[in-house]
Every structure is written in structure tokens, then in C-alpha cells.
Amino acid sequence: MFKTYMQTHMSDEELARAVQQGTDDAFTILFQRYEQKMLRYGQRFLYSYEDLEDAVQEVFIKTYRNIKSFDTDKKFSTWIYRIAHNTFINVIKKNGREPVSFFDFDTFISLPVRTEDTLEGLLDTKESTEKIVDRMKQLSPKYREVLILFYLEELGYKEIADVLSIPISTVGVRIARAKAQLKKIVSPK
Amino acid sequence: MDEHTQKIQAKVLTAIKRGEIVMRPRWHFVLKTVLATLGFIILFLVLIYLMSLIMFGLRETGILFAPGFGWYGMIVFLKSLPWILIILIGVFLIVLELLVQKYSFAYRRPLLYSAGIMVVIILGTAWMLARTPLHVVMMHRMEMRPLPVMHNLYREIREPVWNNAEVGKIIFFTNKGFDMKNPRQEVIIVSIHPGTRIIAREALQVGDRVIVVGKKIGSTIEALGVRQIPEMK
């Protein structure tokens, strides 16, 4: 009965507070709310499904372990995406298939850039979203991730900045550059 | 995907129920934050202290005035800088920036902003600290009761050794220039020629503290420039 109430009436942050106070059922609901999102985010970010399953499992383990460090006045989604980002980056670094730079000059100084709202709109092509997402694999992780978070996970600039721990203006710069690179990949001419 | 999600969910939730995965207590995070804040404060204070020590040293030794004698003076100045301390400050600044970057007020803005603000605060505070009697007192204290690293730092300010520059007090004037005594109590013969640039508020006198930049051979220095070092207020 209480579980049904939690499922329908409680926000992520309220559930997180309940977990902090020892209600493990609240974590089950958070798990159910975020498992597909995490898998989707991970699937688009990581190539190997074996990696993905382990990584997503790791995300939820870290979430549970560190839930008492979560400030319930802030957004839970940003917090869990941040955990996921760190976990996925570690997987990429461990696999060593793609380069992940330690220092990014974009974060040093950057200028605001405006961008389109939809993935199809940004490319002006007839390709489906899934096909475009598939092409994204050719982008470097830092550009691929920012496109996933903005266009597919529909996070705002501020939220992406919090997930990636980068300046808000850098989010705009990265989206613009990622978009330009993706355009080249989709229509090489 | 459903089969996989159920597998992940079952694994994690079972592990939680069995007590294999436990929540870290709140004090763990509080302690982490306290230690990080403490580390930040200590590092910040150390940076201000080291920076003020450099500023004090540059002024106290008089080497700060060397660039006033053109390129030669500039090279002497650059060679005399405490590079180890400067590198150490650079490393500490990077560590400090990494600590600050964990907080949203820092990472939401370009790195240049937070690093720039931090550098300005450190430079400003260090400049003010360098003008207090702190380092003078410390320099005398290190002479009486030396502490391992600190003693060497202050000795380099009290008794600087440079290749093509000397600092000291004029003891008497000669036909060719003047003799002066450096802080190591060595007598240095300063040779002045028509091209020597002399910067002084009034005519040089016995007892004036001066910095001499020029080619040094043994205890003689062919002065390219002589500058009176104003007494610290």
C-alpha cells in the first residue's frame, strides 16, 4: 500500500530522503524509475553490452552506497547522471578504446553558443534518430555524451554542466562542435 | 533489454537485502568535506605565505630593481628568481583549483574565472602580508633559532648569492667607484665607468644600501647599473 503511494505520489528527491532514512523499498522505486534511463544512456555511450550491464549495476551500487551524501534540495536526476557519467568514463578509460582527455581547453574559457532543439532539426536530414545515434559512435566520447544528454536525455545546459562538472558555456560550445562533426559524418560532402 | 534490467535489478536489490551493499554513514561524507575544506584552507594559507615570502625577498634583496638596467638586468633578475618556490606555488595552485572544481560555483564558470579570482586574491593578500613586519621578524628568528627548511629560505633572502649582481652597504668611495660590504661580510670592489647607470634619490653616500648589476670577476664587479635600495617602511 505504502509502496504504491510512494510510486505514484513521491518525487525522486522525496524517495531519496526515504532511502536515507532507511526505507529500502524507496530505492526499489528509484531503481525502477531510472534503470531504463541509465541503460539507454549507457548503451549510447558504451559500445559493448557486457560493459554496459556491469557499468549500470555499478551506477546503482554507487547510488545506494553514497545516497547519504545526496542533498535532497537538489535534483536527484542530475546526481545519478553524474554518477553514471563518472562510471561510464571509468569504463572507457579502463577499456582504452577511446581517448579521454584529462584537461579540456574548452573549460578554460568559452563563449555562449545557441543550438537547435531536436536531433533531426540540427542535421537537416531524413535519417531517423536511431540512425543518427548510430553515427554518433564515430564522435569522441566528450562530444557524443553531450549530444546524448541534450537531445536524447533532454537535460538542460545547467543540468549537463552539473553532470559533467564543466562550465555552462562549455556545454554550448561542445554541442555546437559535436553538431558540426556529426554533420560531416552524416553528409561528408 | 528487459531481461537484462531484471537481472541487474535482482542482483543489486538482493545484494542490498543480504547486507552485501551498505550505505556509507553521513559522518563519512561530513568528514570528507571537513578534510577537503581544511586542506583547501591550509593550502590557501601556505600559498599566500610563500607568495608573500617571494615578494618580500625580491624587495629586501633589491633584485626587484635589476630589470631597471635593461636586458642585462632583466636576465640577472630572471636568473635570480626563486624558481623552486615558484614551481611549488604553481603545483599548489593546480591542486587548489582541482579542490575548488568539485563545487558548482567553480565548475559552472570557465576555469580562467575561478583560477583568475584565486590568483588575484592570493596576490593581493600576499602583497599586503609582505608589507607587514612578519617576514622581518621571521628572518631574525630563523637566525637565532633556525628551523630546517625555513632557515634556508630566509638565509637566501638575508645573504643572496647571484652571478652578476651584488647587494651591500657602501663602506667607502674610491677613484674608480666604491667598496661595499655584502651581507656575507665580504668586501666587493665596485668599478664605475661613464656608461654606468646610477639610480638614487640623492648622491650616494657611505652607509647606503645598494644593488649593483654587472660582470663579476672575483670580488670585483664592473657596474652596469647601481641602484639605491630604499629602506623598508
User: What chain B residue is nearest to A102 in terms of C-alpha separation?
Assistant: B98
Query: What is the structure's pLDDT at B169?
Result: 93
Q: Which of A109, A159, A162 to mutate to test the interface with B (most CBs of B within 10 A)?
A: A109
The answer to whether domain A2-95 has CATH 1.10.1740.10 is yes
Give this complex's ipTM.
0.76
- Chain A residue numbers touching B30 (CB-CB < 8 A): none
> Could you state, in order of their start, the residue ranges of all structural domains in chain A?
2-95, 105-186
Query: What is the structure's pLDDT at B160?
Result: 87
Q: How far apart are CA B82 and CA A118, in angstroms?
A: 55
Q: How far apart are CA A115 and CA A122, in angstroms?
A: 8
Residue A28 has its nearest CB partner, among B8, B13, B112, at B13
Residue A64 has its nearest CB partner, among B5, B8, B21, at B21
Q: Which residues of B touch A (CB under 8 A)?
A: 1, 4-5, 7-9, 11-13, 15-17, 21-26, 28-29, 101-102, 104, 107-112
Contacts 24+ apart (CB under 8 A), A145-151: A145/A45, A145/A85, A145/A88, A146/A171, A146/A174, A146/A175, A146/A178, A147/A119, A147/A175, A147/A178, A147/A179, A147/A182, A148/A41, A148/A44, A148/A45, A149/A41, A149/A81, A150/A115, A150/A175, A151/A118, A151/A119, A151/A122
Q: How far apart are CA B227 and CA B165, in angstroms?
A: 11
Q: Is the pTM of this model over 0.90?
A: no
Query: What is the structure's pLDDT at B232?
Result: 61
Q: Which of B98, B109, B114 to mutate to test the interface with A (most CBs of A within 10 A)?
A: B109
Do A65 and B1 lie within an 8 Å CB cutoff? Answer: no
The sign of the dihedral angle between the CA atoms of B220, B222, B226, B232 is negative
Q: Is A18 exposed, middle or buried (0-12, 13-18, 19+ CB in 10 A)?
A: buried
Spans of chain A, pLDDT less than 50: none
Do the beta carbons of residue B70 and residue B149 sit within 8 Å? no
- Name the CATH architecture for the domain at B165-228: Beta Barrel (2.40)
CATH 2.40.50.140 residue window(s) in chain B: 165-228
Query: What is the structure's pLDDT at A114?
Result: 59
Local confidence pLDDT in tens for the 233 residues of chain B: 566 667 788 889 899 989 899 999 999 999 999 999 999 999 999 999 999 999 999 998 889 989 988 898 999 999 999 999 999 999 999 999 988 888 888 888 888 888 899 999 999 999 999 999 999 999 888 888 878 888 888 988 888 888 889 999 999 999 889 999 999 899 999 999 888 988 877 788 899 999 999 998 888 999 999 998 877 65
A100 touches chain B (CB under 8 A): no
- Chain A residue numbers touching B12 (CB-CB < 8 A): 31, 57, 60-61, 64
Query: What is the structure's pLDDT at A94?
Result: 82
Which of A99, A92, A84, A94 has the alpha carbon at shortest distance from A47?
A: A92
Q: A105-186, which class in CATH?
A: mainly alpha
- Chain A residue numbers touching B11 (CB-CB < 8 A): 57
Query: What is the structure's pLDDT at B70?
Result: 87
The residues in A 150-189 lying below 8 A from B, measured between CB atoms, are 158, 161-162, 165-170
Amino acid at B23: M
